[in-house]
Amino acid sequence: MPDFAKGIPLGDPASMRKETNMKTIKYLLLILMIASVSWAQTLKQNQVKDLPDSLLKKMDITSNGLTTIKGAFTIQDSASITIPTGKAGWGRCMIGDNQEHASFTFTAAGVVTLDSTSISANISTTITDDDVFIIYDAGAGIGFKNMLGSALKVAYKIEYYTP
């Protein structure tokens, strides 16, 4: 045996098989998790109207206390949806074929602030405005409201946490 290998335990074949089996199990679990997330994203993309909190909860991806939700769905004219309450975070959204878009932040109290360097002309935070896409304070959460005159698809990515 060469000098550099002296004192290194070689292990027995049974323990090596056990480690290989554990790695295989971990790999299969990872594949199942990815498939589950993929299924959830497909389900979310096929939603046509409001997304209830229970459905959004199934779409959450949480890592170290930061939750990410993302997806796309059609929102009817004058319809609105709300995002989880009591959370602070940031996000981006786009409606239509890049018809309107915005970057924004929000507080746990639901106060929405638009990033003035990254919004299009017809984005608002005032719920009573017409002919705009509204990102608004919906109580202790935030909401999206389509006031652009027709049903449009909205895509979003929101990251939030409990402060």
Q: pLDDT (tens digit, 0 to 9) for every residue of the chain, 163 residues total?
A: 455 555 555 555 555 555 666 666 666 666 656 655 544 444 444 433 444 444 444 456 788 889 888 888 888 888 877 776 788 999 999 999 999 999 999 998 889 999 998 899 999 999 888 999 999 988 767 888 999 999 999 999 999 998 8
- Say yes or no: 51 and 38 in one domain: no
144 in the same domain as 69: yes
67 and 141 share one domain: yes
pTM of the model: 0.63
CA atoms within 13 Å, Cβ hemisphere of 122 = 15
Measured at the CA of 51, the angle between CA 149 and CA 112, to 5 degrees, comes to 70
Sign of the CA dihedral 33, 39, 45, 48? negative
Number of domains in the chain: 2
Residue 110 sits in which domain range? 47-161
What are the distances in angstroms from CA 83 to CA 68, 111, 114, 159?
Answer: 12, 13, 16, 11
